Every structure is written in structure tokens, then in C-alpha cells.
Amino acid sequence: MSWLLTTLLLGHPGGRPMQQGGPGTFSGIAGQTAVPIPRIEAGITVDGLLDEPVWQSAALLTGFSQYSPVDGRPAEDSTEVLVWYSGSAIYFGIRAFEPHGAVHATLADRDHIDADDWVELLLDTYHQSQQALVFGVNPLGVQSDGTLSEIGIASVSGHAAGAARTTVDLSADFVYQSKGRVTPDGYEVEVRIPFKSLPYQSGAVQTWGINIIRLVQHSGYQNTWTKTRLSAASFLAQGGTLTGITDLHRGLVLDLTPEVTGKADGAPQTSGAWGYTRSGPELGATARWGITNNLTLNATANPDFSQVEADASQLVFDPRQALFYPEKRPFFLDGLEQFSTPSTLIYTRQIVQPDAALKLTGNVGGTSLGVLSAVDQQASSVSGTENPIFNILRVRRGTGGESTAGIVYTDRIEGADYNRVAGADARLVLGRIYTVAVQAAASFTRVAGTSTDGPLWNASVQRSGHRYGFTYQVSAIHPDFVAASGFISRAGITTATIDNNLTWYGHSGATIESWTADLFLFGRWDYERFVHGQSATDRELHVNSSWVLRGGWNVTAGVFFESFGYDSSLYAGYALQHTSGGVTDTVPFTGTPHIPNLDIWLQLQTPQFRRFTGNVLLVPAIQDENFYEWSPAKILITQVGVLWRPSDQLRFDGSFQSQQYWRKSDGSLVAESFIPRLKVEYQLSRPLFFRVVGQYVSQHQDSLRDDSRTNDPILIKNPDTGIYELAVAKSSNTLRVDWLASYKPTPGTVIFFGYGSSMDATETLSFKGLQRTSDGFFLKLSYLFRL
């Protein structure tokens, strides 16, 4: 009786008494986390009404705890989750009570429910505490799914890393059914997940890991079914279990998705008229075969990889660093988590437009496996006449507890040239709050008969304590290390990090729920300088402080003390136009050895109000580096985001980014960039929506001069002619607008019809005198046949 009393007292604050009866009630806060899930050969109509008799026989999971921003406290809003399974599917019934505030629920597009209340079901079907499949639903049953993988080091602002879980990767789309409804007490959702959509163990009797996360938007709190601590190296290892799962019938898993696409691209003709070049219909197909319960084979031929929404433009803070854009293409998204590596040695966007590709993913004997081969189009080759061939292998295995070890191999072959990368990595969890991670890799490259090779290595140790945490890390990339199948932001450097943080927690009901102070030390070396024991080229000291306020407000502030060293490789194409005694000559450009910086960082995140969400980031730099001229400058960086939901079906998602540089010598403007972006979506029904996206990119650069030394005009070598040319003032103003009508009843079955247009303007942030430079229509039809 003691556990039942604990459940009644602690498991349901703010809610009505929980359902009784059935095979058992399991309170997470009372430690009852091993659930013998009942098997019931029955079916239901997924309609959001938990009124079928079978729900009375389900196991009841209740007794949720607060997880964020303060862990360990009983949840203020109670939650009940019913669970049972049949031979072909697992079923969840969710009752979420909200006596303290209004339910946030909109008819959103798939994977866009983060502004709503939601519940996530985490299923670790291999029971390895390394990776979980995530099935999310909002109060109307709108879905958001993906994977949560614990491979490297996680970090969340305001807390030590560790159990502050990594962000769910929403790339994967699973086929499952869900429907919900708002009730006077909160909301209810029914979920059916067929075993055809799940990889799982091959044993006759299985145990699965499970945890359930609920986000309550009116308070900003995240609650978990099991009593999950932030001060732990693994989030998944703190979940519960579903035991006694037997005799599952997955059946034949064979998906075939044929597709047809057509497009018309418009451009101005030499006659001055506007003309279109039509292509298509193009036929392609993708197939998915579940070889076993835990191995899946994907194949594609002539796939359509056109994107229905252009990548959002990003500001360039450091021109030495490459910008990362996430994968969005369906073939690569399926099973993408199996190819994760700590240093992004696998980046599928390097495969531009494959003529054909084959992929094998799964888990064999406790070892996760990912194999990918692709033949890319000739246009993506250096010569334009070869078909680049990619072969990628990723293997990872648990080594006890939450520790893992893995290997990776990639190669890209183009005729007689190649790039090959081989590496190994390991993650060791010690004492539940310490994590040691190491990685080593080497690349071997041949281009035009010349061979080079170089290493990559990194190591880190991390403590994720409740109040005190730290991360110490060193990472090195040789100048000759090349990852043609991966993403390396910048080669030829070594970085070292020392990061310590302390967190204080307020009492229940306090205005300040948590406060974190963070001291961050960072050094960056050219690789050879580090090897020879020389001082760091760039040195940074950041003093940060963040507050989580009651109601879901987040405030962050910081002061950055930095010193950046001159990077001669960045200015290899620079020279100066020097005039002396009436003679003008071209002389080498030599930059100031070091530029000291002083920046202020201010960020505000509002709660997810029912109709509005906003965030603001300001970085007013008293002095920072002006990379255009390598001289001190005053910089202002602004980022503003607003999400307005005037109705349950209409959304306005706006953002504004700006970056401005003024010379410290005379206050004149060096450069500025403005990027306003607006996305408007109308969700007519769950499968049907309309969207328009407009993005304006305005950039201006003044004539460049040697502002820190001679004041001479700067010359930049033209890469095509090899001739030095004056860096004169230049501006560009472009507007891109994309329209889309989308019908997507299930993942794989889609109808897309879209139109996109690019235009140029003559004045900054002016929509007058727009001249169309290109446009295009496209149509895509695909249908998922699930046999």
C-alpha cells in the first residue's frame, strides 16, 4: 500500500484521480519503472477518444517529475499514459491534465509543434541506452518524430551537459497513426505505432527502454515519467522498461515510392523576352525493404532531390569557417542517425544528385550499422565528365553501460583521384556524471597524381554535476586532412576549450528558477604552431550568465574578451596600391599581428505564449575584428525572431538578421548585411497546407583600405585572370519568394506544386524597381506503396 499512497500523493498534483484497474499502475516518481506491458489481441479506431474497453486493460504510467528547468520535483500538471500492444502494433493513450493554464494546440505541419503543448514517447527498442526513436504529438495529434542519439557531448544553455538531453533529430519520418482532442481538463491523444515502422531486437522475449516527456507551454516546464536527473552523463539510461514483449509480427516490410517530377525554369532571353526551359516528366523511385527486424535496405534510382524550400541564409561571422546546412532529402534522412560521428566525418550533402544509391542500416548483435554507396551526377565532379562514387561505412557498438566505441570509413572516387578517410571514436561514461570522449582519423587523398595525408584527433572530458560542471576539450585537424564525404568547418587548426559552470536553483515558485554562471576559455592555433608549442593565434575569455525565469522566460548575458591573430592564408590574394613620389606600385599586404576585442552578448527568449513567441539577440562589440580589412572595428549583430499564430491554422514566422561594421579609426561604414525573412503557412487540414516564403538579402561593402596601417587602397587578385584589382564598393539586393501547395497524408505520399522567383533591387531594403532574374515552376507526385 505504501507505493500506492506515494503515487496518489505525489504522482497527480493538480489533476484528477488517476484511472484504477487494469494490469497495474506504475509511478515514475515512486521508482516503479519496470512495466510488464500487457499483450491484447484487439484493434481500435484512432480517433482521440479513449473509450474502447481495451484501454481498461492497459498498463498505466503516471507519477511524472519535473525535469527542466529544475529536476526532481513532482510535476505541477499531472499526466497519465496508457500502454498495451498486439501482435502488430503498440498503442499509447495519453491524458494530459492542465488545471493551471490554457492548452496550446494548433493545426500545425508535421515536425512543427514546438510552439504547442506536446508529449514525446521515447522507445529504445534495442534497450542499449544509446539511441531512441521519438514519437511526438501535440494535443490535436499532429506528429513530430525523429531520433535521439547519445554519441558525443551534449550541452544545454544554463546547465552542465550530460543528461540535459541532446536535441531530437527530426529528420526521420515514421508511419504511425495519432489523433487528439482538447478536453475541459486538458487533452487526450491516441497513438498507434505499427511494428512495420520500428526496428527492434530479434529475440523471442524482449525488453524495450521507454521514457515519456511532456512539455507544458504555459509554465515552460518539461516533465518526464521516470525521475530523470540533469546531473547524469546519459539521459536515455535513466528511462524505464517495457518488459515481457513477445511474439511480434512485423510481417513483410517492403515500401515502394515511385515519383514523377516536372519543372519549367524561366530566365530572360537575349531578345529581352522572358522564356522557359521545360524538363520532365522525370521518373524515379525509392524502395525500402526490412530484411529482418533490425536491418533495412534502401535503394533509389534517379530520385528527385529538388528542395521545396530554400535554405535560410546565414550571416558570416568568421570567413575562415564554412557554413553548415542540414540534410533535407528524404532518401538520406531515413536512418541518418546511424551515420552520426563526433566530427561530422559523414555529411550526405556532399552527394549532390546521385543517379543511384544504396543504403543498409540497422543493428546486428548490439552493433549499429550504416552502409551507403552512391553514384553522383557528372556535373558534381571537378572535371565535369566523371561520376563521383561514394562509399561510406559507420559501425558503433556499446561497450558496457552507456559507453560506446565506433569506426568510420569513407571514400570518394573520381576517375584516378580519390579521398579516403578512416577513423575510430569512443565514449566512456564513468561514475554516471563523467564522460570521456576520444576520436582519431586520417585522410588519404590523391589529386592529379599527387598524394597527401593528414590526421584529425580530439579528446574531451566532461563533468555534468547538479551544480558544478565542466568541459575540457582539445581538437586538432592537420592542414592536409580532407573529408570529401564529410563536413570540416576549417582545416589546419587546433582548438582547446576549458569551460566551467555553476548553477543555483530557486525554491519552488521562485521568480528565478535557475541561474548559471559560466567561465569559458578558448584557444585556437595554426596546427603547426600547436605542434611546436607556440602560443595560440586566437585567445578568448567569455564570462556568461543565464537565468531561467518562472513562466518560461530565458535571459542570457555575457562579456567576451578576445584577441585574434593575423591569418596570412586568408589574405593570400590581398595586396596594396601604394603611391610614393608620384609612382604607384603594388606592394604586399601585411596585417596587424593581433586585434584585441571586447564584445557584449545579450539574449532574450520569451515563453511560448498561446499566440506569440519571440527572441532577440544583440551583440554590440565595442571593438572586434574587421575581416574585410583586418583592422579594429565597431560591430553590431542583431537577430530577432517572431512566431505569431493568429489562429489555430495560420502562422507567421518572421526573422531579421543584421551585421554592421564601422571602422574604429573614423567611424565610416565598412560593410553591412540585412536578411529579413518571412514564412506564412496556412494549414487547411492535417495533410494539406499552403506556404509562402520571402527572403531579402541586402549586402553592402565599402571600398577597402589598409585601415590599421598605411591607409592604402586594397587590391584583391581576380582568381580567373590572376590580376590584382581595386576592392571597390559593391552592393547587392536580392529577393527570393517561394510558393508551395503541399498535400502529404503520410510520409512518402505527397503532391507538391510550387513556384519560386528571384529578383534584384537597386536600393537597400527597398522593394521598388524589382527586376526578376529567374523563376520556375515545379510539380512532384509520389505515392507510398506499403506491401
Q: Please classify residue 181 by burial: count the beta carbons closer than 10 Å to its beta carbon, then call 0-12 exposed, 13-18 middle and 19+ buried.
A: middle
Which pLDDT score is estimated for 786? Answer: 84
Nearest-5° Cα angle at 492, 490 to 493:
80
Whether 160 shows a pLDDT value over 60: the answer reads no
Write the pLDDT tens digit of every residue in 684-725: 998 999 999 999 999 999 999 999 889 999 999 998 899 999
* Domain 2-246 -> CATH class: mainly beta
Mean pLDDT of 566-574: 91
Which pLDDT score is estimated for 170? Answer: 79
Can you tell me the distance from the alpha carbon of 630 to that of 573, in angstroms, rounded to the nearest whole number? 13
Which pLDDT score is estimated for 234? Answer: 85
Which pLDDT score is estimated for 311? Answer: 64
Whether 581 shows a pLDDT value over 90: the answer reads no
Which pLDDT score is estimated for 312? Answer: 67
SS3 sequence, 228-253?
A: CCCCCCCCHHHCEEEEEEECCCCCCC
| β-strands 254-268, 89-97 pairing | unpaired
Q: What is 341-391 written as a DSSP string?
A: -TT----GGGS-SEEEEEEEEEEETTEEEEEEEEEE-GGGSSSSSS--EEE
Whether 158 shows a pLDDT value over 60: the answer reads no
Write the CB contacts of 68 (distance below 8 Å, at least 6 apart in sequence). Answer: 159, 164, 221, 222, 230
Q: What is 715-780 written as a DSSP string?
A: EEE-TTT--EEE---EEEEEEEEEEEEEEEEETTEEEEEEEEEEEE-SSTT--TT-EEEEEEEEEE
Which pLDDT score is estimated for 436? Answer: 94
Domain ranges of the chain: 2-246, 251-292+294-301+566-787
Residue 246, CA distances (Å) to 133, 155, 179 in order: 20, 37, 27
Quick one: which of 228, 137, 145, 149 has its CA closest to 187? Answer: 137
**Banded pLDDT at 226 (limits 50, 70, 90):** very high
Report the C-alpha dihedral over residues 626, 631, 633, 639, rounded to 10 degrees: 10
Write the pLDDT tens digit of every residue in 259-289: 999 999 999 988 888 999 998 788 999 999 9
Residues constituting the chain: 787
Write the pLDDT tens digit of every residue in 591-617: 889 999 999 999 999 998 888 999 999
Write the CB contacts of 647 (distance below 8 Å, at least 6 apart in sequence). Answer: none
Mean pLDDT of 468-475: 95
Least confident of 8-12, 102-106, 280-284, 428-432: 8-12
Which pLDDT score is estimated for 151? Answer: 65
**Banded pLDDT at 161 (limits 50, 70, 90):** very low
Which three cell numbers, joined as nine digits, stand for 390?
561514394
**Banded pLDDT at 415 (limits 50, 70, 90):** very high
**Banded pLDDT at 8 (limits 50, 70, 90):** very low
Identify the helix (H) or strand (E) that includes residue 212.
strand 205-216
Which pLDDT score is estimated for 488? Answer: 92
Which three cell numbers, joined as nine digits, stand for 34?
519496470
Which pLDDT score is estimated for 159? Answer: 35
Can you tell me the distance from the alpha carbon of 300 to that of 432, in angstroms, rounded to the nearest whole number? 42
Which pLDDT score is estimated for 325? Answer: 81
Write the CB contacts of 54 (distance below 8 Å, at least 6 apart in sequence). Answer: 40, 42, 44, 84, 91
Whether 770 shows a pLDDT value over 80: the answer reads yes
Write the CB contacts of 58 (distance below 8 Å, at least 6 apart in sequence). Answer: 22, 23, 38, 40, 82, 83, 84, 91, 93
Quick one: which of 629, 638, 700, 698 has its CA closest to 666? Answer: 629
Can you tell me the distance from the alpha carbon of 340 to that of 335, in angstroms, rounded to the nearest whole number? 10
Which pLDDT score is estimated for 399? Answer: 83
Mean pLDDT of 131-155: 83
Query: What values do phi and psi take at 53, rounded to 5?
Result: -60, -25
Q: Which residue has the higher pLDDT, 748 or 626?
A: 626
Write the CB contacts of 786 (distance below 8 Å, at least 6 apart in sequence). Answer: 175, 196, 254, 255
**Banded pLDDT at 307 (limits 50, 70, 90):** low
Identify the helix (H) or strand (E) that includes residue 47.
none
Which three cell numbers, joined as nine digits, stand for 454?
593528414
Quote the pTM value: 0.84
Top mean pLDDT of 305-314, 411-420, 507-516 is at 411-420
Top mean pLDDT of 1-10, 33-42, 100-109 is at 33-42
Whether 249 shows a pLDDT value over 90: the answer reads no
**Banded pLDDT at 768 (limits 50, 70, 90):** confident
Write the pLDDT tens digit of every residue in 352-387: 889 999 999 988 888 999 999 999 998 888 888 899
Which pLDDT score is estimated for 701? Answer: 95
**Banded pLDDT at 101 (limits 50, 70, 90):** confident
Which pLDDT score is estimated for 426? Answer: 94
Residue pair 119/210 in contact by the 8 Å Cβ criterion: no
Q: Which residue has the cell 532531390?
A: 305
Quick one: which of 228, 220, 284 has its CA closest to 77? Answer: 220
Q: What is the mean pLDDT of the chain?
A: 89
Write the pLDDT tens digit of every residue in 482-535: 999 999 999 999 999 999 999 999 988 899 999 999 999 999 999 999 999 999
**Banded pLDDT at 202 (limits 50, 70, 90):** confident
